[in-house]
């Protein structure tokens, strides 16, 4: 078969798992599992249903039998072996299933999107594969050994001829000291940042919050309290801080101390990257750098890599974390089958499905609580509303694969609004008040608003919101909603080629206001993945304080009779079936430390069935959820003596039940 006709499926296992389908060397579809199940950072495992595989096949219009190869990133031998019997792959016969390394998939995804003919790749994350599962070539590149012998830092050289390991550091995310309320010890740079997130916020996955909090603090700890670097031994991570921060309350307690700790952690990471980039320059003479892994989502540190590394070109992919593993896996399988590793410059992170006008209209009619205000070209209508300080959910085209919303699944508003941060964080995102928001700016105007030494006639190059630059001092007061406490912004630069509709909208907004940028944040509420479908978008619209929602060429408002979600009439979905009660860690695909009882539901979706877990307490509520009582009435009439259940009935929890497909609602006003 011609290389251009090959259908290759890539699957990334672990948290933030997902799937990618190539036809030839071009991506047909790629998506994270979390966008389909509604559970943030959803893991993919061969022993569980995998909706993202069906999503990609459906999008491409092919059956499983039309695949020519499957490539899997899996750090577990048993998990990888089980793929041949996974329900999502029924009908797959006599097709090669390749196993791909975690770090080499990170490196490949960055290179194949970079457009470079050759490059050095640097991969940094919490931890990847165990040394025992690596190929002979990868094992031969191991330079430093620590911890549990998991890959934590890797360097590769890549070209059209393939991927070649140069150096590898082994360690583990965390060390042996693991206090329940304090700072876990760490054995990698990704683990260091995750440990700080656990200390401050109680979750290893809140590294983004640490990055946002860091500018509020002062550097009070030297980086040598976190690690040292020895030419013979590599990074040596210390337990000094674990012993010092043994028992602490979580945020918002100890705010000054936590702000300083976040600032010190950020500074330590930047010092580590300076050491690594200098080292990588000595290991390879190539002029281009591809940088990926979960640590590459740290936009503050990225700016240091871009500006101080001395490389001719630096590329960081939008799906730099584990959401991009399926892409790297698919391209590595393509290389093994054709002998060529493709590299093509990525313009826009838009790899999901584009929903049709009829699908959007069906979702609108099914909701029963929204109305169509306008249909047609929505740019001028939306620009006018934004100039009137309205906050809009913006749903366009194909969804993003990575964790940054880039205009396909975004919430947008006027950056001149002094109270925009408070409104967004309090009534829409439901998150901490210190969290910053990003400016999406016309690329040709970016040099007028931001300081960056590489600006040229076309402005700063930051299409994926992975850089942080300082606003010019005279511009900061004009757009307070997107200026962080240190005067910086995590900017997204827009071009008519890469993001035509959002570019056009910002141009229309500029014509009205003189400001060539909008506030852009992800279309989701706290604890939820970014919306994927029109149904998800309308749900988020209704369950939050958004003013309007633009989906495709529809401008939507809330129904005249709609007041709050507590006036909606919930009913159990006919596509959800209760299957029992289990403890969380007995039913989830990865260990979470959650010992709460969960009610288990089998839910049928457009991409197959999935298993949903909700607090077992909801089982007490569900007998009253029959479409004849409002949420508010159920709370007042039946739960008055059970305050802990009333506390569960929040807009956020109700939205998650709705998105999970367990409840539906109607309006009887």
Return the CATH superfamily for domain 357-558: Carbamoyltransferase, C-terminal domain (3.90.870.20)
Lowest mean pLDDT across 254-258, 271-275, 441-445, 622-626: 622-626
User: Would the pLDDT of 309 be above 90?
Assistant: no
Residues 405-412: what's their mean pLDDT?
Answer: 98
| pLDDT the model gives residue 512 | 98
CATH C-level class of 568-666: alpha beta
Residue pair 223/267 in contact by the 8 Å Cβ criterion: yes
Question: Which residues, including other chains, have CB under 8 Å from residue 629's CB and lie 6 or more apart?
Answer: 569, 570, 637
**Minimum mean pLDDT among 6-20, 78-92, 437-451: which range?**
78-92
How confident is the model over 58-76, as pLDDT tens digits? 999 999 989 999 999 987 7
Q: For 173-184, what is the mean pLDDT?
A: 86
Q: What is the pLDDT of residues 495-541, one digit of tens each?
A: 999 999 999 999 999 999 999 999 999 999 988 999 999 999 999 99
Structure tokens at 495: 């071009």
Statement: residue 585 has pLDDT above 70:
no
Q: Which residues of 284-298 are buried (b: 16+ CB within 10 A; e: fewer)?
A: bebebbbbbbbbbbb
Q: The tokens 């009887």 sit on which residue? A: 668
Cβ(315)–Cβ(291) under 8 Å? yes
The CATH class of the 3-100+325-338 domain is: alpha beta
The alpha carbon of residue 450 and the mean position of all alpha carbons in its chain are separated, in whole angstroms, by 25
- Cis omega (within 30 of 0) for bond into 19: no
Residue 335's pLDDT band, with cuts at 50, 70 and 90, is very high
In angstroms, the first-to-last Cα distance of the chain is 60
Instruction: Provide mean pLDDT across the span 336-341.
Output: 96
Q: How far is CA 327 from the centre of its chain?
A: 15
Query: pTM of the entire structure?
Result: 0.95
Would you state the pLDDT for residue 40?
92
pLDDT digits (tens, 9 = 90+) for 555-568: 999 988 888 888 88
Residue range(s) in the chain whose domain bears CATH number 3.90.930: 568-666
Positions of CATH 3.90.870.20 in the chain: 357-558
Q: Out of 61-70, 157-166, 640-649, give the one with best mean pLDDT.
A: 157-166
* Per-residue pLDDT, 455: 44
Give the number of C-alpha atoms closer than 13 A to the C-alpha of residue 10, restricted to the C-beta side.
37
The count of other CB atoms within 10 Å of the CB of residue 640 is: 10
Is residue 614's pLDDT more than 90? Answer: no
Q: What is the mean pLDDT of the chain?
A: 92
Confidence at residue 652, expressed as pLDDT on a 0 to 100 scale: 80
pLDDT value at position 359?
Answer: 95
- Taking CA atoms, 138 is separated from 125, 151, 191, in Å, by 17, 10, 22
CB 187 within 8 A of CB 152: yes
Percent of residues, the chain, with pLDDT higher than 70? 96
Domain spanning 104-315, CATH class: alpha beta
Residue 595 has pLDDT above 70, yes or no: no
Confidence of residue 634 (pLDDT cuts 50, 70, 90): confident
Say what the pLDDT of residue 566 is.
Answer: 86
DSSP 262: H
Q: pLDDT at position 586, please?
A: 60
Q: CA angle at residue 263 from 446 to 40, to 5 degrees?
A: 75
Q: Which residues of the chain are in CATH 3.30.420.40 domains?
A: 3-100+325-338, 104-315
């Amino acid at each position: 078969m011609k290389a251009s006709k090959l259908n290759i499926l890539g699957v990334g296992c672990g948290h933030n798992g997902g799937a990618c389908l190539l036809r030839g060397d071009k991506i047909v579809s790629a998506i994270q599992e979390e966008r389909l199940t509604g559970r943030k950072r959803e893991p993919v495992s061969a022993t569980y249903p995998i909706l993202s595989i069906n999503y990609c096949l459906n999008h491409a219009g092919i059956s499983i039998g039309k695949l020519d190869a499957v490539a899997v990133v899996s750090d577990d031998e048993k998990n990888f072996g089980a793929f041949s019997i996974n329900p999502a792959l029924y009908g797959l016969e006599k097709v090669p299933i390749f196993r791909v390394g975690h770090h080499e998939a990170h490196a490949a995804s960055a290179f194949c999107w970079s457009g470079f003919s050759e490059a050095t790749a640097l991969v940094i994350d919490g931890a990847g594969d165990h040394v025992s599962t690596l190929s002979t070539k990868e094992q031969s590149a191991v330079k430093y050994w620590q911890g549990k012998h998991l890959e934590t830092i890797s360097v590769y050289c890549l070209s059209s001829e393939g991927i070649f390991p140069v150096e590898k550091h082994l360690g583990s995310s965390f060390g042996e000291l693991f206090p329940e309320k304090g700072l876990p010890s760490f054995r990698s740079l990704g683990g260091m940042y995750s440990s700080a997130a656990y200390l401050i916020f109680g979750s290893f996955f809140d590294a983004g919050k640490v990055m946002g909090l860091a500018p509020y603090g002062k550097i009070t700890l030297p980086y040598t309290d976190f690690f040292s670097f020895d030419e013979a031994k590599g990074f040596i991570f210390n337990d000094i801080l674990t012993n010092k921060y043994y028992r602490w309350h979580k945020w918002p307690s100890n705010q000054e101390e936590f702000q300083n700790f976040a600032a010190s952690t950020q500074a330590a990471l930047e010092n580590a990257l300076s050491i690594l980039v200098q080292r990588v320059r000595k290991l390879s003479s190539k002029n281009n750098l591809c940088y990926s892994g979960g640590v590459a989502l740290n936009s503050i540190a990225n700016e240091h890599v871009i500006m101080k590394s001395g490389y001719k070109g630096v590329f960081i992919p939008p799906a730099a974390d584990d959401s991009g593993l399926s892409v790297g896996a698919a391209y590595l399988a393509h290389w093994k089958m054709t002998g060529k590793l493709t590299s093509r410059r990525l313009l826009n992170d838009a790899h999901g499905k584009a929903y049709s006008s009829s699908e959007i209209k069906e979702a609108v009619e099914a909701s029963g609580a929204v109305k169509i205000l306008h249909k047609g070209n929505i740019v001028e209508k939306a620009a006018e509303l934004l100039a009137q300080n309205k906050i809009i959910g913006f749903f366009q085209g194909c969804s993003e694969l990575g964790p940054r919303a880039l205009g396909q699944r975004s919430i947008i508003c006027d950056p001149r609004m002094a109270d925009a941060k408070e409104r967004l964080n309090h009534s829409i995102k439901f998150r901490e008040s210190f969290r910053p928001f990003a400016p999406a700016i016309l690329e040709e105007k970016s040099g007028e608003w931001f300081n960056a030494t590489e600006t040229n006639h076309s402005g700063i190059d930051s299409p994926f919101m992975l850089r942080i630059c300082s606003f010019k001092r005279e511009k900061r007061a004009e757009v307070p909603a997107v200026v962080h406490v240190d005067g910086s912004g995590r900017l997204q630069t827009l071009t008519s080629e890469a993001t035509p509709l959002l570019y056009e909208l910002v141009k229309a907004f500029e014509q009205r206001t003189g400001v060539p940028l909008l506030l852009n944040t992800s279309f989701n509420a706290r604890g939820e993945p970014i919306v994927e479908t029109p149904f998800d978008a309308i749900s988020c619209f209704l369950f939050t304080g958004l003013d309007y929602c633009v989906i495709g060429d529809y401008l939507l408002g809330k129904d005249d009779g709609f007041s709050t979600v507590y006036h909606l009439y919930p009913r159990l979905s006919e596509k959800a079936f209760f299957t029992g009660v289990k403890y969380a860690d007995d039913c989830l695909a990865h260990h979470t430390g959650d010992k709460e009882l969960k009610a288990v539901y089998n839910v049928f979706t457009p991409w197959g069935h999935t298993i949903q877990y909700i607090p077992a307490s909801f089982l007490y509520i569900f007998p009253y959820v029959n479409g004849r009582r409002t949420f508010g009435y159920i709370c007042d009439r039946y739960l008055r003596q059970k305050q802990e259940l009333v506390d569960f009935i929040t807009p956020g929890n109700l939205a998650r039940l709705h998105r999970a497909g367990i409840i539906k609602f109607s309006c009887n006003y």
